[in-house]
Structure formats: C-alpha cells, structure tokens
Amino acid sequence: MSQVFISTVDGWDVEPLERKGYSLRYAEGGVETAPWDEQEPESAPADALLLLACNGAEGSGKGWALITDGSVRLLVNGEPVALGIALLRDRDELRVGSGAPVYFSTERLARVEACEREDEPRCPRCASSIARGELSVRCPSCQVLHHQRVGRECWTYLAKCALCDQPTDLAAGLRWTPEGF
C-alpha cells in the first residue's frame, strides 16, 4: 500500500494510504492528513490538497493523483504543478511554498494473505500451484505470489525473493525512507 512520509520534530511519520482519497493541509504545526469522502466533497478543508487513488485503485497504490485548486504554490520534486493536477510516482517530494516536504512512496510491505486468484499461479520457489484461499505472500517488488503456510514457507525459505532481490523477512519494514533528506 502507498504511504506518505510527513516531517516532524522527531523525524518522519508514516501515514498509510488505505482509502481512496485524502486531504493534505499545510498548517502551522506541520502537515495534516484526513480521509476524504468523494460522496461528501465538502469534507475537505478549503485550503487542502486532495490526494486521490486513480484507476479504481481503492488505496492499492496503483496510481495516485494530487489535485490543487491553484490557491497555493504546489511543488512536486521542485517543479510547480501548472494545471492543478500531478500524477505521483514513487519517492516524489511534495511541498507547498517553503513548507516542510512530504514524500510519497508506493513501496509495499510483504504480508501473508489468502490467495484471491482463480487461476492457481505457480510459486517460483517450489513450482507448485497456489490454490485460491491458500496463504501466500505477494512480493512487494516483482508482485509474484509465493506460498507461506505451515509446511510450505516458500517466501521466507531464503533471505530474498525467488525472482528478485526483495528481502523476505516479514518484519523488515520499509526499504526506503526519506531519512537522508
């Protein structure tokens, strides 16, 4: 799932983007985020930016757009947003005027979930099919499913994904943070 990193006096707060829309508002104490409901458009403060999932993503991170009415100077990676909308990419820096930066990330954490696919994909580690409802992990980097059930812990069997360099530690946390910025 996508998230934004918000600068605080103690470092960075991570706000997961679990819903379809959010308002981002630059206030005196920093940046405030709040869920936004498309059924109630007036729920966003007048001076807020809207962060919306695109392509029916429902918070899945497939695409996100940042929308402004032009009343504030919005910069994405140091460049002004000329037409009031910007499609975001992984690690984009968002800034209103000279305010504190907010970083957008599409990185996902590996998590064990029931397989939802009907076509029974093959696990790249053991080459056996993964049945619908079977516990598995989708690699955050290459998006390939691996078994992760008792007796067949294919995801955590080795330190890296069977197809890419993604670490398989389920407690590892995010690989990228804006700590150095």
Q: Are residues 74 and 116 in the same domain?
A: no
Contacts of 50 by beta carbon, 8 Å cutoff, 6+ apart: 21, 22, 23, 24, 36, 44, 66, 67, 68
Q: How far apart are CA 126 and CA 140, in angstroms?
A: 19
Q: How does pLDDT run across 86-99, given as a tens digit for each residue?
A: 999 999 999 987 78
Answer yes or no: do 115 and 138 share one domain.
yes
* CA 101 vs CA 22, 84, 95, 117: distances in Å: 17, 18, 5, 39
Q: Give the global pTM.
A: 0.75
Decide which of 105, 139, 173 is a domain's last residue: 105
Q: What is the pLDDT of residues 16-25, one digit of tens each?
A: 888 888 888 8
Residue that wins the pLDDT comparison between 55 and 74: 74
* Structure token digits, residue 111: 């998590």
> Do the Cβ atoms of 147 and 155 come closer than 8 Å?
yes
Q: How many domains does the chain have?
A: 2
28-68 pLDDT, tens per residue? 767 888 888 776 766 666 677 888 888 754 444 468 999 98
* Structural domain that includes position 100: 3-105
